[in-house]
Structure 1
Amino acid sequence: MDNPAITAKIGGGSVKLSGISRSYGGNQVVSDVTLEARSGEILALLGPSGCGKTTTLRMVAGLVQPTSGDISIDGKPITDLPVHRRNIGMLFQNYALFPHMTVLENVAFGLSMRGISRAETEQRARQALALTHLTGFEGRMPAALSGGQQQRVALARAIVYRPKVLLLDEPFGALDKKLREAMQIELRQLCNELGLTTILVTHDQEEALVLADQIAVMRGGRIEQVASAREIYERPTSHFVADFIGTSNFMPATIIGKQEDKTLLRSATGQIFESLLPSALGVGQQAIMAVRPESIRLSPVETSGETVNTVRGQVIRTVFKGQALSIWLEIQGTEFICSLPIDSLGANTPQLGDVWTASWSSERTLIVREQ
Structure 2
Amino acid sequence: MKASAGAKVELSGLCRSYGDNQVVDNVSLTVASGEILALLGPSGCGKTTTLRMIAGLISPSAGEIAIDGSSITALPVHRRNLGMLFQNYALFPHLTVLENVAFGLAMRGLPKAVITERARQALALTRLTGFEDRMPAALSGGQQQRVALARAIVYRPRVLLLDEPFGALDKKLREEMQIELRQLCNELGLTTILVTHDQEEALVLADQIAVMRGGRIEQVDTARAIYERPTSHFVADFIGTSNFLPAEIIGKADGCTVLRAHSGPLFRSTVANELSPGDNVAVVVRPESIRLSQGEGADSMNAVSGKVLRAVFKGQALSIWLDVNGADIVASLPIEALNDINPQPGEPWTAQWSFERTLIVREQ
Could you tell me the TM-score, scaled by structure 2's length? 0.99
Structure 2, unaligned runs of 5 or more: none
Of 37, 40, 48, the residue aligned with 2:42 is: 48
**Residue 51 (structure 2) pairs with residue 57 (structure 1):** yes
Deviations 1:81-107 (A, max 9, x none): 000111101000000000000000000
**Residue 341 (structure 2) pairs with residue 341 (structure 1):** no
**Residue 311 (structure 2) pairs with residue 282 (structure 1):** no
CA distance, structure 2, for counterparts of residue 260 and residue 125 of structure 1: 61
Of 100, 105, 124, the residue aligned with 2:99 is: 105
Contact 1:41 1:198 in 2 (8 A): yes
SS at match of 1:294: helix
Aligned to 1:4: none
Contact 1:8 1:127 in 2 (8 A): no
**Residue 59 (structure 2) pairs with residue 35 (structure 1):** no
Aligned to 1:3: none
Q: Residue type matched to 1:87 in 2?
A: N
Contact 2:258 2:266 in 1 (8 A): yes
Structure 1, unaligned runs of 5 or more: 1-6
Contact 2:3 2:158 in 1 (8 A): no
Of 6, 22, 32, the residue aligned with 1:12 is: 6
Report deviation, 1:303.
3.3
Of 311, 316, 321, the residue aligned with 1:323 is: 316
Aligned to 2:185: 191
SS at match of 2:102: helix
Q: State the superposition RMSD in angstroms.
A: 0.9
CA distance, structure 1, for counterparts of residue 199 and residue 341 of structure 2: 33
Report deviation, 1:302.
3.1
Deviations 1:28-84 (A, max 9, x none): 100000011110000000000000000000000000001000000000000000001
Aligned to 2:214: 220
Aligned to 1:71: 65
CA distance, structure 1, for counterparts of residue 213 and residue 175 of structure 2: 26
Aligned to 1:366: 359
The number of aligned residues is: 364
Contact 2:247 2:280 in 1 (8 A): yes
**Residue 17 (structure 2) pairs with residue 23 (structure 1):** yes
SS at match of 2:339: coil
Q: Residue type matched to 1:77 in 2?
A: S
Q: Residue type matched to 1:314 in 2?
A: K
Q: Residue type matched to 1:8 in 2?
A: K
SS at match of 1:345: helix
SS at match of 2:185: helix
Alignment of 1:133-152 (within 5 A): 133-152=127-146
Of 342, 347, 351, the residue aligned with 1:354 is: 347
CA distance, structure 1, for counterparts of residue 47 and residue 257 of structure 2: 35
Q: Residue type matched to 2:182 in 1?
A: R
Q: Residue type matched to 2:245 in 1?
A: M
Report deviation, 1:187.
0.2
Deviations 1:121-145 (A, max 9, x none): 0010011000000011001000000
Contact 2:66 2:73 in 1 (8 A): yes
CA distance, structure 2, for counterparts of residue 146 and residue 348 of structure 1: 44
CA distance, structure 2, for counterparts of residue 333 and residue 278 of structure 1: 30
The runs of 4+ residues in structure 1 deviating greater than 4 Å are none
Report deviation, 1:341.
1.0
Q: Residue type matched to 2:11 in 1?
A: L
Report deviation, 1:323.
1.4
Could you tell me the TM-score, scaled by structure 1's length? 0.97
